[in-house]
Structure 1
């Protein structure tokens, strides 16, 4: 199989490496030519200097897999592909797109007799070594066209990937997956913070997390990664207490509201991230002012105000 891979960043680059290891011919295109050239030398990727050149290197029916940021970058690339592809070609979006956008894009491509496959992709920087979990939406015919690549990218040909439903189902499943991830991370972080705060017990969190990895009910890959990090630096003093959110946690919370399905754990985990980004600062200042106003409680001043 020969396919084009557009977007060769951290995840896309490692996917190209895994595809080449599995015998898939990869035509690669990236906005930064040096990245494409480096991968061509490293793994035998076929470099393309433009999107048009990448498409021209394929035989119909073509498969073009996008690993680019959700939003405007994806929109523009799809518009450009409309003028380059032919009926029966397949576009795969492996990015973290909002499934509403996926449904709209699929309808756009369908109007040009093009197939659209949404591949929710999990595995991060470890995907090259461990394989990627792929949640795939699309028609059976379109998924069959990309199946050789799916079987190589997954942990094994018969597991770690699934055709979960029609177009949109892949990105929807990945969205909820990320919402669950938020909740799991938050629970681990809060529990370990409680242990750390119990100073009289002198608990070694590296020891505890390593202990939990073996036959505990809470064992997981997230716990494995946490234990590894704490083994290197238990105090984490060099880490700023700021946690960003990629967008999928927000989409999951919004979806829960729109469906009327209670999802308090995932939603609160998202709000905790907002708080870490300073989103709670003004509200907390107001709370301090209120306590002072009705009870005369002391208001702590910031260092800047004190000066």
Structure 2
């Protein structure tokens, strides 16, 4: 099958290469010449413009977007739309908000173009291990592209599926990332407790390796943690600053809108925000209040 890939950053190029390895033709475009040059060494037919990409694909075309969420997706659609024909399909494999995906599906439907939102998980390991794909959109359009999804997934029949109509794929991926936040926070806190218990002299890498086999807390995240601790037991050179992609925030907002209690996911998001505070005014005020009402000592900075 033939596919156009727009956005040849690390993940987009990896996905395109996995498709090529599985016998599919991929024509790719990226505004950056270095990305196009690198993609060409991986079996991807890199072109210098979206117009060239569209011209290189047979109808009905399938175009996969791997661009940042938000305005870049809408700008890509604005540029593509005049060049596309009824029956073509656009797939958004990025981390878009599901409400945006619903809006875009409605817009493209008026032109006879299918929109598929594909929540994609797998990160840098996806090229070798396959990607988990949560797909939303028209059932017939998804079925037509089954060979693409089957090739990207860990196996043709596992790790992917159409989960519902437009927006459902990115909604499922949003919740997936919210759960991920909570799991990561629990691991981080547990290992921090063990690290602080210095009189036991625990080898955290060893503990992680033990937990990987037979334990009820074993997981791929634990596997990755074990690897990180083995390479760098004290995590030297790593700043205690944790970024977020935005999907944890959307998950918490959705939980509030739906009256669903989600304290673990919410607190894990707040802890990420807290990690970025080098000079916390809130903590200073807490110390000042303790001094005011109880005369507790204040540490000078």
Bin of the TM-score, shorter chain as denominator length: over 0.9
In the other structure, the counterpart of 1:305 is none
Counterpart Cα distance in 1 of 2:279 and 2:169? 34
Are residue 25 (structure 1) and residue 30 (structure 2) matched? no
Counterpart Cα distance in 2 of 1:60 and 1:134? 24
Q: Residues 179-211 of structure 1: CA distance to partner in whole angstroms, max 9, x if unpaired?
A: 000000000011111111111111110000000
- Aligned Cα root-mean-square deviation (Å): 1.1
Alignment of 1:44-55 (within 5 A): 44-55=43-54
Between 268-277 and 46-55, report the one with greater CA deviation. 46-55
Residue 275 of structure 2: SS of its match in structure 1? helix
Counterpart Cα distance in 2 of 1:267 and 1:234? 29
Are residue 164 (structure 1) and residue 163 (structure 2) matched? yes
Are residue 275 (structure 1) and residue 257 (structure 2) matched? no
Residue 142 of structure 2: SS of its match in structure 1? helix
C-alpha displacement of 1:279? 8.4
Gaps of 5+ in 1: 303-307
Counterpart Cα distance in 2 of 1:142 and 1:33? 32
Gaps of 5+ in 2: none
Residue 119 of structure 1: SS of its match in structure 2? strand
Between 226-235 and 138-147, report the one with greater CA deviation. 138-147
C-alpha displacement of 1:34? 2.2
Between 136-145 and 86-95, report the one with greater CA deviation. 136-145
In the other structure, the counterpart of 1:75 is 74
The answer (yes or no) to whether the contact 2:17–2:43 under 8 Å persists in 1 is: no
Counterpart Cα distance in 2 of 1:15 and 1:198? 43
Aligned length: 301
C-alpha displacement of 1:35? 1.4
**Structure-2-length-normalised TM-score:** 0.98
In the other structure, the counterpart of 1:11 is 11
In the other structure, the counterpart of 2:132 is 133
Counterpart Cα distance in 2 of 1:159 and 1:38? 30
Runs of 4+ in structure 1 deviating by more than 6 angstroms, as ranges, are none
The answer (yes or no) to whether the contact 1:274–1:280 under 8 Å persists in 2 is: no
Are residue 93 (structure 1) and residue 92 (structure 2) matched? yes
**Structure-1-length-normalised TM-score:** 0.96
Counterpart Cα distance in 2 of 1:111 and 1:280? 51
Structure-2 change in CA distance of 1:280 and 1:146 (3 Å): farther
Structure-2 change in CA distance of 1:280 and 1:268 (3 Å): farther
Counterpart Cα distance in 2 of 1:44 and 1:229? 32
Counterpart Cα distance in 2 of 1:137 and 1:252? 17
Residue 83 of structure 2: SS of its match in structure 1? coil
Are residue 35 (structure 1) and residue 35 (structure 2) matched? yes
